Structure 1
Amino acid sequence: MKKIICSILAVLSLSATSCKKFLTENDPNNVTLGSYFKTENDFNLAVNGAYNQLRGLYNNKSAWTMGEMRSDNAHYDYKSSDQAVATVNRYAVADFLDDKYNNQTPPKWNAAYNAISAVNVIVDHINDIKLSDASRNAILGQVKFIRALAYFDLVRFYGGVPIYDHAPLGREQTYIPRSTAQQVYDLIIADATDAVAKLAAPTFPQTGRATKGAALTLLGDVYLTLKKYDLAEAALKQVTTMGYSLYQNYGDAFQLSNKNGLESVFEIQFNSGLATPQANTDASIYNFLPRMVNTTVVTGVNFNSVTTVGGYNTPTQDLIDAYEAGDQRLDASIAIAEGTFNGTDDFTATAVKSSVNYTPAPGKVGRPFPKKFLHTHTIGNQTNDNWPVYRYSEVLLLLAESLNQQGKTGEALPYLNAVRERAFGDALHDITTADKTNLQAVLLKERRVELAFENKRWLDLVRTGNAITVMNAFGVKQKAQYSYLRPGSYNVTQDRLLFPIPNAEVLLNDKLTQNPGY
C-alpha cells in the first residue's frame, strides 16, 4: 500500500497546474495519467505492466514460503551460522513463529496491490480514447482477470482487505478500512465473471495471456472455496470443452518446449532471451537447492548459492511418502542431490539421483529438491521456466471435488482417474470408492502430489478445514527430527490460518485492524 500511496502522490504532484490562466501549454516532458493513453498500444503496454506485477505475487520468495513451506510439503536447510533477518524470518513462517514484524510475508501483500493498482489505472482510463468493442473487451477482460486473481490471493492469505476498485486520488480514498472477506469475494466474482464474458476461448499454441478458460477456472476455484459447489461445477465443466488436455507424461507439463501448451490454463511468463534477462527470468530452482559453493553437478551451471538464495522449499519426507508406489510424479517432481554437508552446513553435491526408493551411498547424504523446475539454462540463477498458476489437471481435480461435494461421487471419479491414469500409466490404480468422505480425502491427497511446489498445499489445508490437525501432527514429527526447532513451533491455532497484515501498513493507515493473534 505504501507503494500505491507514493504512486498516487506522484500522480497528484504531476497533475498540479498553475492557477495562472495564461500558462496553458502542456509540458511535453510532464506525462500524467490523463494525457498518457492516446492509442490502443498505450493500453496494451499498460496491460503488459499489470501482467508483470503477477511475477511478484506468484513467484517471489513469499509465495512459496507462505504456500509451501508453511505446509507439510516443504521445510528448509537449517544453517546455524546464518541468522540474517531474512533467513530467520523465513524459518519463522515455516515454523509458525512469525509475527506482525516478519519481513517475508509483506511482499505478497505489496505485489498484489501493485497489480491491483496497475489494473485500476487502465479501468479508470479505458474511455479516454475510442476503441473497437473487440479491443476494449480484450483489455478489460485481461485486467479484470488479473485483479480478481490478486484479490483472491489476498483474501485467502490475509482475510478481508481494503478494496480499491478504482485508483484512489486523495487521502480519504487511500486510507480506508478493511472490507469483509465476503465483500472481497463479491468483487472477485464480479471481476472474474466479467472476464469470462469479455475474453475469448483459448487457441493453441497460447500466447500466455488470460483467456476465457483461465477466467472460468479462477471462477470455479473461487466458488469451490466458498462451497458453492454447483456453481463451481458449471464453470469448470465449460473449461473441459475448450481444447485443453493432459500431456502423456507428467513431466512434459513443465518442459520449456511446452510453455503455454495444451495443459496450461494460465502461467506466469518468464523469458531469459529478453534484453533485460535478470528482470524476466525465474530463479526458483536456485532457491530450492541446498547451499552450494558450486551448483554445476545439479544445474550444469556454476553458481554459488551459499550466501545468496539456496536452502529453502526442501521437500519433506512426509511428502515423499505420500506418493504411491508406481506414481511417476515422484520421480518427475523430486530429485536427490547426493553429497555431503560440511561443518558450516553448506553442501557439496557429487551426483543427482532419483527420489524413488533412494538410499544414500556410503558416506553420503541425500538432500531432496523440487525437480520439476530444473531445466537447461546457461546463466546461474536465471532460468527460462514459466510459473504455473492453473494447469488442466487442476481443473479436473477441482471439478471432481465440486461434484463429490454435491454427492455426485460417481460422476467425479472419471475426472480424478484421468489425472491418476496419466500419473501411473494405466487404469490399474483408478479410484472406485462410492463414499463421499473417503473420496474427499483421496482428492486432497491427489492435489498434494499432483500440484506439489505450485503453492497450493497450505491453501488446500485451510480451505478443507484440515490445517490445524494436519500441521500440529506434522509438527510433532518435525520437532522429533530437528533439534533446532523451538518448543513453541508448530503450535497451530485458528489465528494462524491467516497471516498478519503487514505492520507497516497498519502504522501508515490507522483504519486498518490487525488479524487476531498478531
Structure 2
Amino acid sequence: MKNLLILLFVLTSVLFSSCKKFLEEVPSSVLVAENFYKTDADAEAGVTAAYDGLNNQTDIYFRGIYLLAELPTDNAETGQGVANAFIFAIDGYTYGPVNDRIYVLYTALYKTIANANVAIDKIPAIEMDAAKKKRLIAEAKYIRALLYFNLVRLFGDVPLVLHPVTSLDGVNEPRAAAAKVYEQIVADLKAGETDLDALNTTANLGRATQAAATGLLAKVYLTLKDYPNAALKAKQVLDNPQFGLLDSYFNIFTPDNRFNKELIFAIQNKGLTGTGNGFSMALYLPRATIPLAGGGTVAGNSADVPTVEFYNSFKAGDLRKDRTFFTQYNAGGGLVTFRPHWYKYFDPSAITNLGEATLNFPVLRYADMLLTYAEAINETSGPTAEAYEAVNKVRRRAYGLAIASPSAAADLSGLSKAGFQDALLNERRWEFGFENQRWFDLVRTGKLVPVMRATGNTLIQDYHVLFPIPQRERDVNKSLTQNDGYPK
C-alpha cells in the first residue's frame, strides 16, 4: 500500500512538515495541523472528517462493502445494469489481485483510518473540556476499530497504521499479523466503553456510544471464537434499556423512523439536501421500468439485485420478505411488476432524485445482539433456553407475533447444537439481507465454500475466504505479501 501511504505522506507533509523552505512555498490558504488543531471546534471537525469517510457512497458504506460482503454470496448477483468486468469477476469468483472494486474499498478504508489517526494524535494537545476530549478521541478510535474489523476479516493480515505518516520511513509498512490487528481493535473498543457517551440523545445522534463499542466487541469476540466474552458483551447491550426490538420489522427502515431503538450504530445519510449526497437508490432499483406520474420512468439501473433463490427462501408468513424485496410498485404512473429487487432502504420521497434518499445504513442492530448472544451460548453450552429465547424473539417479530410471548408456530425447539447453528445462520440471512453481513457470516461459520458450491459455483476455492491484497499496492510496496491462492 505504498502508493496510498505516499499520498498520505504528501498530504500530511503539507500539514506537518517543519521544513521552512517547504512551508514558504505553500500558499497561505493551506491549513496546517499546528494552526488547525487548536480549539474544541477543530477537534469536532477532525472527528467529523472521519465519520464522513464512512458515508462515502461508492467506496465504503454503502456500496463498497456490498460488493465484497453481499454480492459474492447466495444473497445477491449482478443485474442487467452492471457493465464493470471487475464486478462480474467478484460475483463469479474469477477475481484476482487486479480488481478495481477491491482496490477502491481497500484504499478507502485506509484513507478513513488516516483521518481517524490524525484526530487521535492531534486532539490530546488541545486545551478543552477533558470529558469532551476523551469522547472525541474515543469516537475516532471507534471508527478506526470498525474499519480495521472490516479490513482484517476481508484481507487477513493487513498493515496496522496507527499514526499519521509524516516521513518516508512510514510509507513501506508491511502486513501485521491478524492477531495483532484484532488486539488493536479490542483496545480501541475498550477505550470506547469508558470514554464514549453512555446514551443516545438529540445532541449526539449518529455518533458512536458506549453500547456501540460493546456491541462491536461482541461481534469481534464472536469472530475470534471467544464465545464467553461474545455472550458477555452481547448481553450487556441486550440489558441496556435504551435499545430493543421494534414491534414491526418494516418500521426499522422507514424514512420517518431513521433513528429508532433498534439501531445501536448506523451510518448517517445526508438526503434531501439538493446535493445528491443521500443514500443513492439508483443501483438497486428496477431499470427504467417504473413509470412516473409526470411522464418518464424512475431512473433505476438494476445493477445490484438479490438472487431469486434468496427471495424464494423465506418461509410463508415471514414479514421480512416484503421489507427486504419488492416485485411491484406504483410511483404515480401505474402499478408495474418486475423481478425481485432490493427494497429495504427505499425512500419514496426521493423517487425522482435517487441520490437524495434519507435512510441511515445499520451497522449494529439489537437483533444482531440477540443472534450473537444465541450463537455464543450455543457454541459453549448447546441450545439452552436462553439461546432459544434470544433467537425466538427475532422470529416472533418476523412473523408479526408478540415478541415476548412463546409461540409454537414460530419458535425453534428440540434442535441439536449443529441444527441450532444451521438455524441461526438461516435466521441471520433472513434478518440481515442487504445489510452486508452474509459473506462475513458464511466465512465465520466455515460455510462459504460449501454454500456457494451448492449454488452451482464450481470456481470458488478454499482460499476465497480472504480477498487478495490489491496488486497496485504490492507493485509499489514490496513488503506486502499476498494471500494464499492468488498470484504472488
Identity, in percent, stands at: 32
Which residue is equivalent to 1:252?
251
1:71 corresponds to which of 70, 73, 78: 73
Distance of aligned partners of 1:460 and 1:129 in 2 relative to their CA distance in 1, 3 Å threshold: same
| Residue 418 (1) aligns with residue 420 (2) | no
The 1:17–1:240 alpha-carbon spacing in structure 2 relative to 1, beyond 3 Å, is closer
Out of 498-507 and 440-449, give the one that drifted further. Answer: 498-507
Shift of the alpha carbon at 1:455? 0.5
The answer (yes or no) to whether the contact 2:9–2:168 under 8 Å persists in 1 is: no
State the match for 2:41 in structure 1. Answer: 41
Specify the alignment match of 1:221 in structure 2: 219
Whichever residue aligns with residue 229 of structure 2, its letter is: L
Offset, 1:131: 2.4
TM-fit CA distance, 1:254? 0.5
Q: Tell me what 1:191 maps to.
A: 188
8 Å CA contact 1:251–1:329 kept in 2: the answer is: yes
For 2:334 and 2:94, the matched residues in 1 are separated by 35
**1:272 positional shift:** 1.7
Deviation (angstroms), 1:239: 0.4
1:277-319: CA deviation from partner (whole Å, max 9, x where unpaired)? 22x3111x32112332x644599984434xxxx2233111221
**Residues 93 and 34 from structure 1, CA distance in 2 versus in 1: closer, same or farther, beyond 3 angstroms?**
same
Distance 1:245 1:204 in 2: 16
- Residue number among 134, 142, 145 corresponding to 1:145 in the alignment: 142
Of 400, 409, 422, the residue aligned with 2:374 is 400
| Rounded Cα–Cα distance in structure 1 between residues aligned with 2:206 and 2:145 | 17
The 8 Å contact of residues 217 and 239 in structure 1, kept in 2 or not, is answered as yes
Structure 2 SS opposite 1:369: strand
Gapped regions of structure 2 (runs ≥ 5): 402-406
Match of 1:291 in 2: 287
| Number of the residue aligned with 1:211 | 209
Q: Give the alignment of 1:374-393 within 5 angstroms.
A: 374-378=346-350, 379-382=352-355, 383-393=357-367
The 5 Å alignment of 1:86-485 reads: 87-203=84-200, 207-242=205-240, 243-274=242-273, 277-278=275-276, 280-283=277-280, 285-292=281-288, 295-296=290-291, 302-305=297-300, 310-337=301-328, 351-352=335-336, 366-378=338-350, 379-382=352-355, 383-410=357-384, 411-426=386-401, 427=407, 428-475=409-456
* Alpha-carbon separation, structure 1, partners of 2:237 and 2:120: 26
Alpha-carbon distance in structure 2 between the residues aligned to 1:233 and 1:146: 23
> What is the CA distance between 1:491 and its match in structure 2?
1.3
Q: Deviation at 1:352? A: 4.6
Structure 1: runs of 5 or more not aligned: 340-348, 354-365, 477-489
Query: Is the contact made by 1:220 and 1:232 (CA closer than 8 Å) also made in structure 2?
Result: yes
Alpha-carbon RMSD: 2.5
SS at match of 1:475: coil
Give 1:449's aligned amino acid: W
Matched to 2:66, the amino acid is: W
DSSP 3-state at the match of 2:459: coil
Helix, strand or coil at the partner of 1:262 = coil
Spell out, residue by residue over 1:164-213, the C-alpha distance to the aligned partner (whole angstroms, 9 max, x if none): 11112112212111011111111111111111121122235660110111
User: How big is the shift at 1:380?
Assistant: 2.2
**SS, match of residue 377 in structure 1:** helix
2:8·2:165 contact (CA, 8 Å) conserved in 1? no
* TM-score normalised over the length of structure 1: 0.85
TM-score under structure 2 length normalisation: 0.90
The secondary structure found in structure 1 opposite 2:100 is: coil
Q: Aligned equivalents of 2:193 and 2:233: distance in 1? A: 10
Which amino acid is 1:440 matched to? Q
1:362 match:
none
Distance 1:404 1:16, change over 3 A: closer
Secondary structure in 1 aligned to 2:381? coil
Equivalent AA in structure 2 for residue 227 of structure 1? K
Q: Aligned partners of 1:439, 1:163: CA distance in 2, in Å? A: 36
Equivalent residues, number = 468
Preserved CA contact (<8 Å) 1:264 1:390: yes
Query: How far, CA to CA, are the matches of 2:329 and 2:162 in structure 1?
Result: 50
Aligned counterpart, 1:9: 10
| Secondary structure in 1 matching 2:264 | strand
Deviation at 1:269, TM superposition (A): 0.6
